Amino acid sequence: MKLIVVFACALLFAQGDKTDDLEEWKEEIKQTVEQCRAEIGATEDDVASLKGPNPTPTEKGKCFAACMMTKRGYLDESGKFNKDKIRTEMAKLKPLDEGRFEEHLKIVETCFDTVEEGKDKCDTAARLSHCIFKVQNPPSEMKLLVLLSLFLVAVYGISPELETLMKTELKRMGTECMAELSVSEDDIEPLLKHSPPKTYEAKCFLACINKKSGVQDSSGKVKSADDFLEKIKLMDEDYYTKAKHIVDVCIVDDHNQDDECETANSLYTCVLEEKSKLGLPMISLD
């Protein structure tokens, strides 16, 4: 059974170098998750039913959300929200995106003002969770972490939130690279199908993506992917283990070429081969 506590990801940004505090808090959250799942009898499907802008939560899913909120002090026994407690916790996320923090705070405040109490505490918790997801669709990383850090309802078996973040970033970087380079949709079509590039332009498109994501440096040489791996580890430890293997095999100086576009192609081909061996899912951009 894989329990992904994405709340811990926010602490990567909020806690800085306080590694011991981070690990302690992660364990605390995991224990709370296990306690609530045991108390409510909620399955992973129940928990997953809470996600998305148009969720269809099960009763146990709703009560799981309420249990997590109650144990963290966000919801009292009568079903009333402790807004001060939530705002205090949310403030810890400010270093993640100070420029847009007020925008995201406004989202939470809007939900406070508009969400009506449900028929019981479980229903109220699910309604507030739904409001945040709905208002922040499509999710930015900051908005997603606001939700996950406050309400702790995203504990899934396959970490769809990690896939969402990766997909969002890939689309953003891809759009920027298409605008910067003379690359056509035909050039990148093989990449969207997770196949090796067929044109030189597509190889350069990969190099552009790699440089924006930090896999290749400004000169086009292979860089360390340690920072990327650490973020994944906090979000999905199972995926991290496999991803680390790929990084150890593929993100190495052996792939450096005189041409940064050829370097990118060599890296990409290696990653495709290793992902296939390990059975890692490809990130669809549809």
CATH code of the region 16-137: 1.10.238.20
The tens digit of pLDDT for each residue in 173-204 reads: 888 888 889 888 888 888 877 788 999 999 99
Percent of the chain whose predicted confidence (pLDDT) is above 90: 11
pLDDT value for 21? 46
User: What pTM was estimated for this model as a whole?
Assistant: 0.47
pLDDT value for 97? 56
The tens digit of pLDDT for each residue in 87-101 reads: 776 676 566 556 666
For CA atoms 215, 14, 134, 163, give the dihedral sign: positive
Which of the two residues, 140 and 213, has the higher pLDDT score?
Answer: 213
Question: In whole angstroms, what is the distance from residue 5 CA to residue 159 CA?
Answer: 9
Question: In whole angstroms, what is the distance from residue 121 CA to residue 124 CA?
Answer: 5
The tens digit of pLDDT for each residue in 24-41 reads: 656 777 788 889 989 999
Mean pLDDT estimate for the chain: 72
pLDDT value for 158? 37
222 strand-pairing partners = 216
- Mean pLDDT for the stretch of residues 252-279: 86
Domain with CATH 1.10.238.20 in the chain: 16-137, 155-278
In the predicted structure, residue 222 carries a pLDDT above the cut 50 = yes
In the predicted structure, residue 268 carries a pLDDT above the cut 50 = yes
| Architecture, CATH, for domain 155-278 | Orthogonal Bundle (1.10)
- Mean pLDDT for the stretch of residues 252-276: 87
Pull the structure tokens for residue 235. 């979000």
